[in-house]
Amino acid sequence: MVSVPELKEAEPQKWRDAAEDALAAARRCGSMSALAEEEVAATLLQCWAGDTGEAARRRFVQHAEDFEAAKLVLKKLVRTYDDLADAVETAKADLVGGLSYADSHDLVVDDSGRVQLATPIMTAPGDDSHFGPLDHAAEAIGDALTKATEADRTATAALRLLGAMTDITDPALAREALRQDSPLAVALRLQNAGGGDHSINVSSSQLAAVEQAARETGVSKKLLLATLWQEQQWYQHIDGSPNGPASFFGRPFNWLLSQTIKPDKSLGITHIKPDTARTVMENHPDAFLDTENNRLSEMDDSQLAKYIEENPNEAIRLSAYHYSDLREQSEYGARTDKDLFLLYAADTPDVRELNEQYGDESEPRGGDIRTRGENWDRISPRLDDAMAWEHLTEAERLEAMEQLESQTPDGQYVYLEPIYGDGISMGTGTDTGTDRWEPEPTPSPSANPPPTPPEGD
């Protein structure tokens, strides 16, 4: 979420200047494309017969396409910057108006847009007349921040794609990639996701459990996947397998610890605490039954710990219900998926208060919460891309791979690895490209040897 200071200090004119800049670059690319095709290639066709002239003509036809593809992408960049400038300008004006109103009514506004009375006042029971200005200011400021955040997210998604399109040399493929949510666009974003983060190393059964739990509780699939990613970091990350040696020892170790040493030790694939799990089961007794319809909430601690460790799908369900409960208890500090993600680590009044104060900003936070917030920021787009890839059909994925391969230099790998799932795709580039052009040797007619003079007369 864009914060109050960020929107207040935003400079929409700079985004407009960026749009003008990109437009100039797009125009130059258009001019170079026209020159290469309509003048250079045409001149070569007219004036240079033979293999060498033909090779030269083909080269300039390719350059014309290179520049045309670049022009298409840069034009989209123009629209992206322009739309962003418009949205920011409007949102900023609304925010400034809201802040001015708040100031004139003795209200304070947090960075997150939360509005409060500057000084508490005594009122008669049922008298909420003084809340009118507060509600008005909160609504105006909240709307401004929402609009700005939406514009920020839209621009970010577009810019990530446009930045990934520098290798597209075919104008037709450029148009395809610019089509919203096209398989090629998803593949390009995946390809350019950058490395460094471990994948969510769970089985297809557990991924199915995530889908089921999301449907059952209304909690977002993305939030549950992010939780798996975050909470796996101890054993799956180390040995790369849910069934590897670290996991093999990790789970019984956790169970043992839960029995003897640390009753609050986090358990299972989602690192849920036994007390939290028990609370969830007690809040939803009919959702957690054994095969004989006995309530699992009646298990003792060691049985509960063992159950969680041995049933990762149930651990996922427990976490989903826990998230649902967090929001059910109070929306305060639990408004967004990121708020909930932070509360999963520590549901305390402090964390909720800071969620309210700072919104989705990670920078002002401290300690582990800040790290957790930054993790969310980093993997969130990767989860979005992986979910988009997952929703494509096999045929769409194959086509996107072929399109990527056609734009990748011959022999180079094309490798897409979503952050979860078995959708890893590999291929090899087929584009012979436009390497430095070496003129082909000119075929020369061999001169006949000098005629042999006739013998005698």
Partner 1 sequence: MAIGVEGDSIVSFEEEWADLKAAAQERLQTGTRLAGVGTSPAPGRMPGAQNLGLDAAPVRRIANRTHTENSESGDSNKLADAEAAGRAHPGWECGPVSNDCVDAWQGRLRGLSSLVADAADGLNGAMDEQIGGDRSVADQLRSGAEWLENA
- Please list every residue from 422 through 441 that binds partner 1, using CB under 8 A: 434, 436-441
Name the DSSP letter for residue 136: H
Interaction residues for partner 1, span 66-125 (CB under 8 A): 66-67, 70, 73-74, 77, 81, 84
Compute the least distance from the CB of residue 444 to partner 1, in Å. Answer: 5
Tokens of 119: 């000084």
Compute the least distance from the CB of residue 139 to partner 1, in Å. Answer: 23
**Residue 141 binds partner 1 (CB under 8 A):** no
Q: Which of 8, 53, 83, 253 binds partner 1 (CB under 8 A)?
A: 53
Closer CB to partner 1, 421 or 433, in the complex:
433
Compute the least distance from the CB of residue 284 to partner 1, in Å. Answer: 36
**Residue 376 binds partner 1 (CB under 8 A):** no
Interaction residues for partner 1, span 150-169 (CB under 8 A): 152-153, 155-156, 159-160, 162-164, 166
Q: Return d(Cα 220, Cα 427) in angstroms, integer.
A: 32
Compute the least distance from the CB of residue 415 to partner 1, in Å. Answer: 19
**Residue 173 binds partner 1 (CB under 8 A):** no
Q: Which of 126, 366, 367, 445 binds partner 1 (CB under 8 A)?
A: 445
Closer CB to partner 1, 30 or 423, in the complex:
30
Q: Return d(Cα 389, Cα 209) in angstroms, integer.
A: 19
Half-sphere exposure of 162 (CA within 13 A, CB side): 19
Cα–Cα distances (Å) from 277 to 44, 170, 300, 314, in that order, read: 76, 54, 12, 10
**Residue 314 binds partner 1 (CB under 8 A):** no
- Which helix (H) or strand (E) is 407 found in, with range? none
First to last CA, the chain: 105
Closer CB to partner 1, 27 or 237, in the complex:
27
What's the residue count for the chain?
457
**Residue 248 binds partner 1 (CB under 8 A):** no
Closer CB to partner 1, 36 or 219, in the complex:
36
Q: Which of 65, 94, 361, 385 binds partner 1 (CB under 8 A)?
A: 361
Q: Return d(Cα 34, Cα 41) in angstroms, integer.
A: 10
Closer CB to partner 1, 34 or 117, in the complex:
34
Name the DSSP letter for residue 306: H
Tokens of 149: 């955040």
Q: Return d(Cα 320, Cα 324) in angstroms, integer.
A: 6
* # residues contacting partner 1 (CB under 8 A): 79
Is the Cα dihedral 90, 95, 96, 98 positive or negative?
positive
Q: Which of 205, 444, 455, 457 binds partner 1 (CB under 8 A)?
A: 444
- Which helix (H) or strand (E) is 399 found in, with range? helix 394-406
**Residue 51: beta bridge partners?**
none
**Residue 456 binds partner 1 (CB under 8 A):** no
Is the Cα dihedral 311, 315, 317, 318 positive or negative?
positive
DSSP readout, 156-185?
A: HHHHHHHHTTTT---HHHHHHHHSTT-HHH
Number of Cβ within a 10 Å radius of residue 176: 17
Closer CB to partner 1, 324 or 362, in the complex:
362
Judged by CB under 8 A, the stretch of 45-53, 258-266, 383-391, 410-418 that binds partner 1 is 45-53
Compute the least distance from the CB of residue 265 to partner 1, in Å. Answer: 36
Interaction residues for partner 1, span 2-41 (CB under 8 A): 2-3, 5-6, 10-11, 14-15, 17-18, 20-22, 24-25, 28-29, 31-32, 35-36, 39-40
